[in-house]
Structure 1
Amino acid sequence: MDERKLVWTAPGTAGDLNDLPRDVRAVLEIAEIPADPLGDPRLDEVRVLIPPLVRNQADDEYDIKTLVSAASRLDLIQALTAGVDWIVDLVPAEITLCSVRGAYDDLVAELLLAGILAVYKEIPHHANAQAQGRWEPRLVRVLGGSRVLFVGYGSIAERLERYLVPFGVDVRRIARRPREGVDGISELSVLLPGADIVIVLTPLTAQTHGLVDEEFLTLMKPGALLVNGARGLVADTAALVAAAERGKVRAFLDVTDPEPLPDGHPLWSAPGVFITPHIGSMVPENRSRAFAVVRDNLIRWARGEALRNVVNGDY
């Protein structure tokens, strides 16, 4: 019988993989990443690595890059996140990297829809007035008829579009690579000025870092709503604060730069900006959603089948 293939998973998560099918359990050995992985005698046997979702670098005796380099037989890294900007540059070309894309689509889409409606219906203003015991009505806006531009069009954007369409919005889409129904990034400057709502859902890459800059914001329609559900670093925070302060744009942000956003940061008090603290996937079943994708990929890998959510080099 061939030796079982060793899978190291994040501490405290081996139990999330205890229901693998019998044929897969016969092929894979699931173990949690040891306290001193670089000194562990089985490091050279590791074939699959499932790194922790959140890492406290101050307490680590190693980092991901060192561990990946030292695990000489490593074939697959399965991230527990949908976005892999934090690890993609650390993975050599010969090792496959997969995400849990799709695990949180409905959660993030629901939050972004709620944020859009909250801004359109002036909920932050009225919540603040209620907290002060004041009756301060303010005009609100109607979502129907709004022109929505998606900048980045993956699975979350697809789900959010399905939620928005019944409101009677007009949707345009932009992505890095054009395809049927989706324009290329070269059309950004043409489409931005006509959009009432600009929803940014791009992955964080060298190309999208700082994409929402002063020029981007200047091109936006006066009073338009910017929604960032991607990564904080996709937007230039100083430029966004300046645009909000002069009334150029409004914004709903579930991500910021820096993050966490420090007390007293000017973004907190920028007019027309509504912020939630990166809660798009913060639900009790967060972990089970991620491990449903991980479990499926481990089964596929053990059986020699095509993997889901393989991250290409141009992520």
Structure 2
Amino acid sequence: MTTRILVSNETDDLVGQELFSQLDSVDVIPYDPTTTTLDERQRQAEIFVPPYRGTNRPMPLMAQMTNLRMVQLTAAGTDEWANDVPDGVVLAGARGAHAGPVSEWVLSAALTQYRQWPALVRFQDEHTWAHRKFDADTLHGKRALIVGAGSIGSAVARLFAAFGTESTLVANTSRGGVHAASEISGLIKGHHIVVITAPLNDKTRNLVDRDFLAAMDDGALLINAGRGKIVDTEALATEVQSGRLRAALDVTEPEPLPEDHPLWSCQGAIISPHSARTVPGTNALCYAVAVEQVRTFMTGQTPTNAADRKLISPERDVV
């Protein structure tokens, strides 16, 4: 029996068409993510793969797929799809594919802030040789609290270790070398860096609120590579504006951040446009994971990255 898989025809998704076509007994059907209407063959698809870029664009097309049994994302997080995918349809992400690029972004963000690169660039723009005009610091000897001990958080801890930074990891439940989420309030103090790589779900939504931020040490750095809604944006802006905390954000709430938002002007903040995973070859890594998830589904088993629809999202990445 042939399984029909609907895969985007955009450039970044051609590798996905190639990889899915290597599965046994499949019919890979291309589609245009910008279209509003599927043809008869496309509507018969049982597995729907949204595009690598602008993942949410073709979400309305699901209503035209009468045989839909699975939605396989190339993104790690599934929270943006969880409420729209029909009941009974398996929803899975590409958890694990992003550990390398995102952990590298976290390390680069920490180094950027500690070595004062934003200040250096501003001095360079002014053609100023800024010797001894600013205070740089080192990651060596620092302590990092990593909220989210999955593939990304664990990779961050390994990179930090190479720079002499000690990491404390937090997950849903405790395991060897990892603290339970219930312990987090007692872990915040004493850490120079707090890294968010957790999923967005009912337990983590607004986790980093005013009280959490107030518990962070003076001068501490918050790095959010998870989801914007995990952090109270206004509370964070207040702390960064005051100069008490610093921030490095790949995700925000709202997203994109409005042009007039005060965080843009905070010298203690650096912001990237939800691009931590975006490096050459990441699309192929994501599709490699997606294909394995689909292969598992086609054998009648539950994919390892299947979303817990009750909690909304499986990543970025606590378990």
Interval of TM-score (by shorter of Structure 1 and Structure 2): 0.7 to 0.9
The alignment covers a number of residue pairs equal to: 305
Q: 1:67: Cα distance to partner?
A: 4.2
- How many Å separate the matches in 1 of 2:201 and 2:104? 25
Q: How does 1:222-237 map to 2 (within 5 A)?
A: 222-237=218-233
SS of match in other structure, 1:292: helix
CA-to-partner distance for each residue in 1:257-292, whole Å, 9 max, x for gaps? 232223342101123112222221222223222212
CA-to-partner distance for each residue in 1:68-117, whole Å, 9 max, x for gaps? 45534322110110111111222345222111111121111111101101
The residue identity in structure 2 corresponding to 1:223 is G
Q: 1:250: Cα distance to partner?
A: 0.9
TM, length-normalised to structure 1? 0.87
Aligned to 1:47: 46
- How many Å separate the matches in 1 of 2:65 and 2:296? 22
Match of 1:81 among 46, 68, 75: 75
Structure 1: which 5+ runs fail to align?
A: none
Deviates more, 1:295-304 or 1:282-291: 295-304
More relative contact order, 1 or 2 (CA 8 Å, 6+ apart) = 2
Paired residues of 1:28 and 1:302 also in contact (CA < 8 A): no
Aligned to 1:107: 101
Aligned to 2:121: 127
SS of match in other structure, 1:192: coil
* Shift in CA distance, 14/106, structure 1 to aligned 2, threshold 3 Å: closer
Aligned to 1:6: 4
Larger radius of gyration: 1
Aligned to 2:202: 206
Aligned to 2:190: 194
Query: Percent identity between the aligned chains?
Result: 31
Q: 1:251: Cα distance to partner?
A: 1.1
- How many Å separate the matches in 2 of 1:220 and 1:19? 45
- How many Å separate the matches in 2 of 1:81 and 1:161? 22
Q: 1:218: Cα distance to partner?
A: 0.4
* Shift in CA distance, 173/127, structure 1 to aligned 2, threshold 3 Å: same
Match of 1:299 among 292, 295, 305: 295
Aligned to 2:282: 286
Matched, 1:154 2:153: no
Aligned to 1:275: 271
Which portions of structure 1, spanning 4 or more consecutive aligned residues, are displaced by more than 6 angstroms?
none
TM, length-normalised to structure 2? 0.86
Q: 1:215: Cα distance to partner?
A: 0.9
* Shift in CA distance, 293/248, structure 1 to aligned 2, threshold 3 Å: same
Paired residues of 1:37 and 1:43 also in contact (CA < 8 A): no
Aligned to 2:136: 140
Paired residues of 1:14 and 1:32 also in contact (CA < 8 A): no
